Structure 1
């Protein structure tokens, strides 16, 4: 069964923006066993896509912020044993320097309390080139408005580029309608 069909089993919320996300990931050309951090587990969509793509995944949220039952969904598509969950804050990541091949944040960046500090931490724990990619999928204003139909108090959309400060990063932006992909790497 294809990755798209497996994700489709989980329902419409998991299928939204899937083609765009898969295309972005495919074009990054990561090695099959790359170690990837997913910041902001939520329902688990990003972790599932990455696990089904053959990557080793660590995902997490701040303690007591596990608002979604990602474990049930992971078992339903047989990826539970391919994902490691840890509690952590994006602003204080409990990992060694240069530990991950890539870091992903799907719809979570606008929830980080200190976005500048989170960027510094992500840069600290990614490997140097040619790996060392930070991929942030962030909602556009249109995407946030769609979310607000179900969750009226949802925070505003955020452009991650505004928070990279003086960090020496290259950025590529891929526009996807309701979400954009911001791909950062060290210069």
Structure 2
């Protein structure tokens, strides 16, 4: 097993990198590969939700598009990515239901018990202090609220990793996928992190492409 190699805890900041990442996520959305089904299947299908690390926003916007009577707040560390997410929300016609805030996941700027759900996909490996972020997730959830966090895993089967890389569009994003894999956690590492936090009751699972962590407060 390769040692974990930290990628970044500052998000994607450069204008060109943000534009390329937006194109990559839009391609995944158009191919039906955004994890919206997994979020809904986890029981997050109503109420006010918080998304952590939304990037250009497609996951949360697809969730809003499919679930009536909901609204979404999102915390993102990259101001340029927030600008992109807001433009995408306008394109979806969902700007009135989606609010993006510049902040770190370790210091979520909302009061205790604000949200019915918290979800995140693909950003866990960039969090500078996951244990602290897990505590923040628990804090801002209402009693009975649900959380769902998913990400890549570092111990991907080489054939799966190869397939993911050749499928990435635009191709300029392929090196970034590898650094994200190198920065990701294994199932046992994630379980050990969660064990010392309020999310210790989380159900943690994996599939060939990554890790999934879910639970209820």
Interval of TM-score (by shorter of Structure 1 and Structure 2): 0.7 to 0.9
Match of 2:111 in 1: 96
Normalising to structure 1: TM-score of the pair? Answer: 0.76
Q: How is 1:20-39 mapped onto 2 (pairs within 5 angstroms)?
A: 21-30=35-44, 32=46, 34-39=47-52
Higher percent of residues as helix: 2
Match of 1:161 in 2: 191
Match of 1:40 in 2: 53
Q: How is 1:5-154 mapped onto 2 (pairs within 5 angstroms)?
A: 11-14=26-29, 15=31, 17-18=33-34, 21-30=35-44, 32=46, 34-54=47-67, 55-62=70-77, 64=79, 66=81, 69-129=84-144, 132-141=145-154, 142=156, 146=165, 149-151=174-176, 152-154=178-180
CA, structure 1 residues 123+110, in 2 after alignment: closer, same or farther (shift >3 Å)?
same
- Equivalences, count: 172
Task: Decide which structure has the larger Cα Rg and report it.
Answer: 2
Normalising to structure 2: TM-score of the pair? Answer: 0.67
CA, structure 1 residues 107+124, in 2 after alignment: closer, same or farther (shift >3 Å)?
same
**CA drift at 1:117:** 0.7
Moved more, 62-71 or 37-46: 62-71
Higher relative contact order (CA 8 A, sep 6+): 2
1:114-150 Cα shifts (integer Å, max 9, x gaps): 1111111111111112xx2110011133477737724
1:20-56 Cα shifts (integer Å, max 9, x gaps): x343233334453x11000112121221122113231
**CA drift at 1:176:** 4.2
Match of 1:170 in 2: 201
- Partner Cα separation in structure 2 for residue 57 and residue 124 of structure 1: 17
Structure 2 unaligned regions, length at least 5 = 1-24
Question: RMSD over aligned Cα, in angstroms?
Answer: 2.8
